[in-house]
Amino acid sequence: MTRRNMIGSMAGAAAVAAGAPFASAFASTGEGRQQLKGNIRHSVSQWCYNDIPLADFAKACREMGIEAIELLNEKDWEAVNKAGLKCAVGYATDWGIPRGFNKLSNHEKLVADFKSMIPKAAAAGVPNLICFSGNREGMDDREGLINCAKGLRQIMPDAEKHGVTIVMELLNSYGHRDYMCDKTPWGAALCEMVSSDRFKLLYDIYHMQIMEGNIIDNIRKYHPYIGHYHTGGVPGRNELDETQELYYPAIMKAIVETGYKGFVGQEFVPKDKDKLASLRKCIQICDV
C-alpha cells in the first residue's frame, strides 16, 4: 500500500476491528505517556499504519508522546481530538496529487473545496491543509508557477481570516512521475508570488533527498518558506535508522536551530512487523 493508493481511495474502507495483533504493542508502551524533550513537536501520517484502527493508533501515539496524527479527512478529526491529539495536516479536497493548482481548469473545484474546508479546519483545531501543484503534463514550470499563484491567492483571504496554513508538498518527480513542485527553489518562488504567511511548503525530507540532496543547508536557507516537515528513510522510505543514508539527529537539530515551532510528521513505511515499535524507535531518533 502506498500513499498514492491511499489518496486515490480517500473514501476509504471501514475501520478494522481492534484485535489481538495490536494488544502486545499497546501493552509495551506502558500506562504513562512517554516523556520527550519538547524541542520537536512530533506527528505521524496515518496512512502508514492504516491497518491499525484509528482509535487504537491514537492511543498508542499519545503514550509515545506524539502530539498529532496527520493526513486525515474531516470525518476523522473528531476522533483524534477525543484522543487528546491534534490533526496536524488535513485534506481539503478529494482530488489527489496529479490534479493541482497548476491547471487553471482545476481552480473552480479546488478553490471551492478549500474555501469550504478552511473554516471547518479552524473549528477543529487543524492548523494545516495540504495542497499539491499537480503534474506538468507538458506544461512549462514558469506557467505552472503563475497558475498556482493565481489559484492560491483566491483562498488566502480565507486562510488568513481563520488562521489556517495551506501547505504545498514538495515531492520527488520520479516516484510521483511528472509532479511539478519537485524542487525547493520552485516552491520558494511560489511562496514569494502568493505573498501570504498562510501559504508555506511541506518540506518532505525523503523526497528532497532524492531530488536535490543537501538537506541541512536547504533547510537553513529556505526555512522561512517551510510550514511542515515529513520524514522518511532513503532509500526505500523505511525506518530512520542505520540502514539508510540520512542522519536524522543532525537534520532535526538543524530544524530546531531555525526556530521552527510546527510539527514534524513521521512518514516512513515500517518494514518491521511491529509497526508501533518502529514508530517509537524513530520518534526517539528524532527527539533531539
- Quote the cell numbers at residue 197: 504567511
What percent of the chain has a predicted confidence (pLDDT) above 70?
Answer: 89
In a domain, 28, yes or no: no
Cα–Cα distance measured from residue 71 to residue 76, given in angstroms and rounded to the nearest whole number: 10
Q: Residue 242: pLDDT above 70?
A: yes
Number of Cβ within a 10 Å radius of residue 188: 17
Q: Note down the domain range covering 154.
A: 36-286
User: Which comes out higher in pLDDT, residue 256 or 20?
Assistant: 256
Q: HEC profile for the chain? A: CCHHHHHHCCCCCCCCCCCHHHHHHHHHHCCCCCCCCCCCEEEEEHHHHCCCCHHHHHHHHHHHCCCEEECECHHHHHHHHHCCCEECEECCCCCCCCCCCCCHHHHHHHHHHHHHHHHHHHHHCCCEEEECCCECCCCCHHHHHHHHHHHHHCCHHHHHHHCCEEEEECCCCCCCCCECCCCHHHHHHHHHHHCCCCEEEEEEHHHHHHHCCCHHHHHHHHHHHEEEEECCCCCCCCCCCCCCCCCHHHHHHHHHHCCCCCEEEECCCCCCCCHHHHHHHHHHHHCC
Q: Can you give the pLDDT at residue 5?
A: 52
User: pLDDT of 130-186, one tens digit each?
Assistant: 999 999 999 999 999 999 999 999 999 999 999 999 999 999 999 999 999 999 999
Residues in the chain: 288
In a domain, 198, yes or no: yes
User: pLDDT of 53-97, one tens digit each?
Assistant: 999 999 999 999 999 999 999 999 999 999 999 999 999 999 999
State the average pLDDT over residues 13-29: 36
In a domain, 6, yes or no: no
Cα–Cα distance measured from residue 25 to residue 37, given in angstroms and rounded to the nearest whole number: 23
When pLDDT is cut at 50, 70 and 90, the band that residue 4 belongs to is low
Structural domains in the chain (count): 1
Q: Which residues contact 12 (CB under 8 A, 6 or more apart)?
A: 73
In a domain, 51, yes or no: yes
In a domain, 2, yes or no: no
CATH number at residue 110: 3.20.20.150
What percent of the chain has a predicted confidence (pLDDT) above 90?
Answer: 88
Among 19-33, 89-103, 135-149, 241-255, name the one with the lowest average pLDDT: 19-33
State the average pLDDT over residues 217-225: 98
